[in-house]
Amino acid sequence: MYRILIIEDDDKIAAILKRNLEKYNYEVIRGEKFDQVKQEVIEHEPHLVLLDINLPHFDGYYWCRQIRTVSNVPIIFVSARTSNMEQVMAIENGGDDFITKPFDLDVVQAKIKGTLRRVYGEYAPAQAAEQESDEDKLQLHYKGLQLDRGRNVLSWKDHRTELTKNESLLLQRLLSTPGIIVSREELLELLWDDVQFVDDNTLSVNVGRVRKKLEELGITNAVDTIRGQGYRFVQEWEGTQS
Is the CB of residue 97 less than 8 Å from the CB of residue 222? no
In one-letter notation, the amino acid at residue 116 is L
Q: What is the pLDDT of residues 203-225, one digit of tens each?
A: 888 899 999 999 999 999 999 99
Tens digit of each residue's pLDDT (9 = 90 or more) over 141-182: 888 899 988 888 999 888 889 888 889 999 999 988 888 899
Q: Report, in angstroms and rounded to the nearest whole number, the Rg of the chain calculated over CA atoms.
A: 19
Type of residue at 193: D
Supply the pLDDT for residue 236: 80
Residue 109 · residue 24 · CB < 8 Å: yes
Label residue 95 by pLDDT band (50, 70, 90). very high
More confident residue, 28 or 118: 28
Average pLDDT over residues 175-192: 86
Q: At residue 234, what are phi and psi to the nearest 5 degrees?
A: -70, 155
pLDDT digits (tens, 9 = 90+) for 101-152: 999 999 999 999 999 988 887 666 555 555 445 666 678 888 889 998 888 8
Cα 53 → chain centroid:
21
The pLDDT score that the predictor gives to residue 198 is: 63
DSSP code for 155: E
Greatest pairwise CA separation for the chain in angstroms? 58
| Contact by Cβ (8 Å): 95, 71 | no
Distance CA 218, CA 157 (A): 10
What is the model's pLDDT at position 242? 47
**What is the overall mean pLDDT for the chain?**
86
pLDDT over threshold 90, residue 237: no
Residue 7 has pLDDT above 80, yes or no: yes
pLDDT band, very low/low/confident/very high, at 197 (cuts 50, 70, 90)? low
Say what the pLDDT of residue 125 is: 58
